[in-house]
């Protein structure tokens, strides 16, 4: 067990969902992630914090192999989800991404109707046997993303016509609709106003009951509000990882303290 | 060749301009007492200002005078020609062109020393064989020179000479006046920089309006000739008639419909070839190809766009046509053992080759449009576990669709206006037929054939070319406007 996790408390379960060991990421010659070990627990919100360019988004994208789409990117080390090595040759990254959903920094609804946006994942993975079942999946996903009441009367309207906060919740609904086990969120609130941010944060807390949620954020208040565990990245290193309360009140590493108090970053 | 008077005038203006530049600059310096910080503008601006005042009005007047003088002189000389000379079947215009030709011949004869200046002014057909004198200096005339024509030509020369003389005086005086004025106003407080700025603006506006005015001019000239055509030929036959049978003795059937049918049929085949191939090439290049392949393949594909269309026409006539004949024609000797195609020129030949020509057009535009689809869309789709081709089919292409439609419409308007490929590859028979292996003809081909050869610009058989051209212009303009509208609307979506 990693010694940084000694102080953990207040976590619902101790099941480890994602285990990363010795992860190195290179962008061409640039060594972006240096030897990161981390265990992410099931049904927990884990926040990645750190200054811009510290590698937290890069590491997040390793967890569903989104870095495969970048030509110059190279990943070394082991990442296991439920004990299975996701970088094994037999693993289909396309299947993996259905299991590990992702919500992006900028809301990116497809140029389709709200309904088709949410039904996109279930359709390509064949999750619904018929139209009625698909309708149900879409409604459930929209309800879980707390946007159902706002869009139920205009499911055929284009998703791009919603407001920024609604678009982001639509994207969350879209990710939830494929029934992932892990939900990765890359700064999901950076393009939203405080009201929409509050709605999304509330939503993240609810999603914790079913999923392991990993969220990258620049806002330390947000990390403190929504997460149970926090990891601090700096210059490609995982500096400190532990109970959110401890990281913010009693950091062990001087760099963590400097960042949290606003001296570096 | 020695400079004519006009040449010397141009030279004089240039010299005056250069002189004005230096004089204004040094005057500006001296009014500032040698300290250029006291000047409103940098010294060169005073120079530019003076040069501008010297050159612009002078060149402007020179140009207008050169355009207007022949018209005015022709009008006055015109009255000298008696009715008798304007013989049966001929017109005043033809006689005037004779006059111009004799006048030019006299000029050349004087330049080559066959006549003295004095002789040229006073020569009479009664005493000398003007035709043979002019023939000896290389100006061949169709018939003996009538005394009236010669007199008119001499008048023409005399008036031109006077006109040119006065023009030179006026223009050089104007240049000097402009230069003097600009130098006179030059002092430390004069805002030369602002004047030059306005001059630069005027230059840019002039360039922009010339481009637009030329377009307007082209449209108007087509319009007037088309109106002439519709005076001679019923418009109902042109737009709604069923056959195209020009007959130079008159009484032709001149209907655009069979030609329009051929044009559209060939264009549709071309688009059927170009759109899938071009679009797939664009998808490969923008979505799958690595940067190395892309940087090599894209220019290679665009080489196709640089091939002159006449070369494509030859390719159609010599390679594609015979190849198609060997498949669909020649009876038992052919590949399919059928005899459906008799000659190399056919709708299919022209359509296929035109399709090849349009591939880079479609692929290059679609490539830009697909690249403009934000990466976040693709990430969103990948993040949901979609494969690459699912992402392209369900997210990228729908997002890029309006732009691709625009690209296809632009390609269609190129196909409709394309000339050389159809001249060589499509044949010359105007008819309504659905068989793509038959020769058909297009609007552009008919325009070419109606205007080549010995033509008389007063018969409906020739003037129909302008009506055809105008229709073509309206058609492609409409397609272009529609395409640009769609493309622009799409661009706004993501910016």
Closest partner residue to A94 (CB to CB) among B380, B385, B394 is B385
CB-neighbour burial class of residue A173 (10 A; exposed 0-12, middle 13-18, buried 19+): buried
pLDDT at B1 over 50: no
CA atoms within a 13 Å half-sphere pointing along the CA-CB vector of A167: 24
Question: For position B232, what pLDDT does the model report?
Answer: 85
Provide the shortest C-alpha distance from residue A63 to chain B (in Å): 11
3-state secondary structure chain B: CCCCHHHHHHHHHHHHHHHHHHHHHHHHHHHCCCCHHHCCCCHHHHHHHHHHHHHHHHHHHHHHHHHHHHHHHHHHHHCCCCCCCCCCCCCHHHHHHHHHHHHHHHHHHHHHCCCCHHHHHHCCCCCCCHHHHHHHCCCCCCCCCCHHHHHHHHHHHHHHHHHHHHHHHHHHHHHHHHHHHHHHHCCCCCCHHHHHHHHHHHHHHHHHHHHHHHHHHHHHHHHHHHHHHHHHCCHHHHHHCCCEECCCCCCCEECHHHHHHHHHHHHHHHHHHHHHHHHHHHHHHHHHCCHHHHHHHHHHHHHHHHCCHHHHHHHHHHHHHHHHHHHHECHHHCCCCCCCECCCCCHHHHHHHHHHHHHHHHHHHHHHHHHCCCHHHHHHHHHCCCCHHHHHHHHHHHHHHHHHHHHHHHHHHHHHHCCHHHHHHCCCCCCCCCCCCCCCCCHHHHHHHHHCCCCCCCCHHHHHHHHHHHHHHHHHHHHHHHHHHHHHHHHHHHC
Cβ–Cβ of B384/A71 closer than 8 Å?
Answer: no
Q: Which of A73, A94, A104 best tests the B interface by mutation, with the highest count of B CBs <10 A? A: A94
Which residues of chain A are within 8 Å of residue B381 when distances are taken between CB atoms? 110, 120
Interface of B with A (CB under 8 A): 290-291, 374, 376-387, 390, 394-395, 398-399, 493
- Which residues partner with B329 through β-bridges? B341
Distance in angstroms (rounded) separating the CA atoms of residues A256 and A248: 9
Question: For position B87, what pLDDT does the model report?
Answer: 60
Segment A85-113 mean pLDDT: 88
pLDDT at A171 over 70: yes
Segment B67-73 mean pLDDT: 87
Mean pLDDT score across all residues of chain A = 86
Distance in angstroms (rounded) separating the CA atoms of residues A146 and A152: 11
pLDDT at B235 over 90: no
Cβ–Cβ of B377/A108 closer than 8 Å?
Answer: yes
Of B488 and A218, more confident: A218
**Interface pTM (ipTM) of the complex?**
0.85
Local structure of A138: helix, strand or coil = helix
Contact A121, B381 (CB under 8 A): no
Segment B187-216 mean pLDDT: 91
Segment A156-182 mean pLDDT: 89
The model's pLDDT over A178-221, given as tens digits with 9 standing for 90+, comes to: 888 899 999 888 877 888 888 888 888 888 888 899 999 988 88
Question: For position B493, what pLDDT does the model report?
Answer: 58
Cβ–Cβ of A97/B382 closer than 8 Å?
Answer: yes
Q: What is chain A's Cα-based Rg?
A: 18
Which residues of chain B are within 8 Å of residue A175 when distances are taken between CB atoms? 383-384
Local structure of A91: helix, strand or coil = coil
Task: Specify the range with the lowest mean pLDDT, choosing from A79-93, B333-347, B396-410.
Answer: B333-347
Question: For position B134, what pLDDT does the model report?
Answer: 74
Which residues of chain B are within 8 Å of residue A174 when distances are taken between CB atoms? 380, 384
Confidence of residue B351 (pLDDT cuts 50, 70, 90): very high
pLDDT at A10 over 70: no
Which residues of chain A are within 8 Å of residue B291 when distances are taken between CB atoms? 71
Closest partner residue to A98 (CB to CB) among B376, B385, B399 is B385
pLDDT at B358 over 90: yes
- Nearest residue in chain A measured CA to CA from B397: A111
Question: For position A9, what pLDDT does the model report?
Answer: 42
Question: For position B435, what pLDDT does the model report?
Answer: 84
Segment B357-383 mean pLDDT: 90
Question: For position A16, what pLDDT does the model report?
Answer: 86
Confidence of residue B90 (pLDDT cuts 50, 70, 90): low
Provide the shortest C-alpha distance from residue A110 to chain B (in Å): 6
Question: For position B434, what pLDDT does the model report?
Answer: 84
CATH for A3-92+100-109+181-260 is 3.40.50.300
Q: Which domains does chain B have, with CATH numbers?
A: 5-190 (no CATH), 240-494 (1.10.3720.10)
Of B160 and B19, more confident: B19
Of B140 and B284, more confident: B284
Cβ–Cβ of A178/B385 closer than 8 Å?
Answer: yes
Question: For position B495, what pLDDT does the model report?
Answer: 45
The model's pLDDT over A40-65, given as tens digits with 9 standing for 90+, comes to: 988 899 999 988 888 888 899 898 88
């Amino acid at each position: 067990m990693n010694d940084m996790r000694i102080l953990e408390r207040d976590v619902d379960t101790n099941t480890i969902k994602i285990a990363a060991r010795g992860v190195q990421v290179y962008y061409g010659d640039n060594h972006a992630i240096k030897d990161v070990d981390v265990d992410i627990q099931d049904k927990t919100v884990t926040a990645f914090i750190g200054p811009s360019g510290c590698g937290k988004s890069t590491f997040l994208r390793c967890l569903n192999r989104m870095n495969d789409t970048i030509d110059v990117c190279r990943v070394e080390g082991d990442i296991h989800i439920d004990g299975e090595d996701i970088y094994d040759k037999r693993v289909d990254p396309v299947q993996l991404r259905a299991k590990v959903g992702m919500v992006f920094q900028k809301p990116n609804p497809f140029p389709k109707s709200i309904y088709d946006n949410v039904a996109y994942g279930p359709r390509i993975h064949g999750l619904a046997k018929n139209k009625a079942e698909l309708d149900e999946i879409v409604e459930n996903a929209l309800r879980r993303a707390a946007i159902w009441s706002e869009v139920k009367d205009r499911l055929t309207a284009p998703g791009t016509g919603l407001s920024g906060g609604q678009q982001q919740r639509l994207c969350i609904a879209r990710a939830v609709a494929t029934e992932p086990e892990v939900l990765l969120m890359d700064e999901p609130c950076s393009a939203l106003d405080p009201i929409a941010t509050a709605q999304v944060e509330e939503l993240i807390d609810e999603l914790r009951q079913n999923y392991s949620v990993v969220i990258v954020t620049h806002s330390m208040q947000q990390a403190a509000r929504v997460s149970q565990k926090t990891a601090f990245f700096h210059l490609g290193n995982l500096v400190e990882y532990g109970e959110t309360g401890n990281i913010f009140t009693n950091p062990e590493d001087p760099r963590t303290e400097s960042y949290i108090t606003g001296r570096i970053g | 060749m020695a400079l004519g008077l006009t040449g010397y005038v141009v030279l004089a203006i240039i010299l005056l301009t250069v002189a004005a530049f230096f004089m204004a600059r040094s005057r500006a310096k001296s009014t500032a007492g040698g300290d250029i910080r006291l000047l409103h503008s940098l010294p060169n601006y005073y120079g530019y200002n003076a040069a501008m005042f010297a050159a612009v009005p002078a060149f402007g007047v020179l140009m207008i005078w050169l355009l207007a003088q022949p018209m005015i002189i022709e009008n006055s000389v015109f009255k000298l020609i008696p009715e008798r000379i304007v013989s049966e079947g001929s017109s005043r215009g033809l006689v005037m062109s004779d006059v111009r030709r004799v006048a030019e011949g006299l000029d050349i004869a004087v330049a080559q020393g066959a006549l003295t200046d004095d002789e040229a002014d006073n020569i009479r057909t009664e005493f000398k064989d003007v035709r043979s004198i002019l023939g000896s200096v290389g100006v061949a005339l169709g018939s003996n020179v009538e005394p009236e024509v010669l007199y008119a030509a001499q008048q023409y020369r005399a008036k031109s000479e006077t006109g040119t003389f006065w023009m030179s005086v006026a223009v050089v005086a104007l240049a000097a006046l402009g230069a003097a004025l600009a130098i006179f106003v030059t002092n430390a407080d004069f805002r030369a920089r602002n004047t030059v700025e306005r001059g630069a603006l005027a230059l840019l506006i002039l360039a922009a309006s010339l481009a637009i005015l030329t377009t307007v001019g082209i449209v108007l000239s087509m319009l007037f000739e088309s109106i002439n055509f519709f005076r001679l030929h019923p418009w109902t036959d042109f737009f709604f008639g069923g056959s195209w049978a020009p007959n130079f003795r008159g009484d032709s059937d001149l209907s655009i419909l069979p030609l329009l049918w051929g044009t559209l049929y060939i264009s549709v085949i071309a688009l059927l070839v170009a759109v899938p191939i071009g679009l797939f090439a664009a998808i490969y290049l923008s979505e799958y190809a690595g940067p190395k392949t892309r940087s090599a393949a894209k220019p290679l594909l665009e080489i196709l766009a640089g091939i002159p269309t006449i070369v494509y026409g030859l390719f159609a006539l010599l390679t594609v046509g015979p190849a198609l004949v060997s498949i669909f024609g020649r009876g038992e000797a052919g590949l399919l053992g059928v005899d459906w195609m008799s000659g190399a020129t056919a709708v299919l030949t022209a359509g296929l080759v035109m399709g090849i020509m349009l591939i880079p057009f479609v692929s290059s535009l679609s490539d830009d449009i697909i690249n403009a689809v934000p990466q976040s869309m693709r990430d969103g789709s990948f993040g949901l576990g979609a494969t690459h081709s699912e992402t392209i089919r369900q997210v990228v292409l729908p997002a890029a669709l309006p732009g691709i439609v625009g690209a296809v419409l632009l390609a269609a308007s190129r196909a409709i206006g394309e000339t050389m490929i159809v001249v060589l590859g499509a044949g010359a028979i105007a008819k309504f037929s659905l068989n793509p292996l038959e020769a058909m003809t297009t609007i552009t081909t008919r325009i070419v054939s109606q205007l080549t050869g010995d033509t008389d610009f007063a018969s409906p058989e020739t003037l129909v070319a302008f009506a055809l051209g105008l229709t073509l212009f309206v058609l492609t303009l409409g397609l272009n406007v529609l395409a640009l509208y769609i493309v622009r609307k799409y661009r706004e979506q993501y910016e």
